[in-house]
Amino acid sequence: MASDMEPKVQQTYLYDFYGELLNEHQRKVFEDFVFNDLSLGEIAEEQGISRQAVHDMIRRSIKKLEEYEHRLHLMERFLDLREKAVRIQKCAEEYERSRGEHLLDEIKQISGEIIEEL
């Protein structure tokens, strides 16, 4: 998994890919914590549960999302494809500036890797 990624960013990506697999209550608490930046106490008050229950639910939700990623690798594949698309874009921009023929070979190689992954 993307271990060099900030935890909040990683949690956001995990939620984007697998959030629908959480139940409605888990989604609401997770969204309040990660996206709405509410404190555990604020969420607990809003949900009518203890602060510890909120903490446990968030921890379990993150673990569940990480398990889905461990099995399915959707986030990892997405990030890899995005990185390759950025490399292609940079090569194309450099080619426009320099007309370096070697860049066409790199573009072909990267796009070939993408096609193989799909």
Residue 72 is predicted with a pLDDT of 97
pLDDT digits (tens, 9 = 90+) for 73-96: 999 999 999 999 888 888 888 887
Average pLDDT estimate for 54-77: 96
Residue 110 is predicted with a pLDDT of 87
**3: confidence class by pLDDT, cuts 50, 70, 90:** low
Q: Alpha carbon of 5 to those of 10, 11, 58: distances in Å?
A: 6, 10, 19
Residue 94 is predicted with a pLDDT of 84
Residue that has been written with the tokens 């959707």 in this structure: 74
Residue 91 is predicted with a pLDDT of 84
Contact 33, 40 (CB under 8 A): yes
Residue 109 is predicted with a pLDDT of 86
pLDDT digits (tens, 9 = 90+) for 6-41: 988 999 999 999 999 999 999 999 999 999 999 999
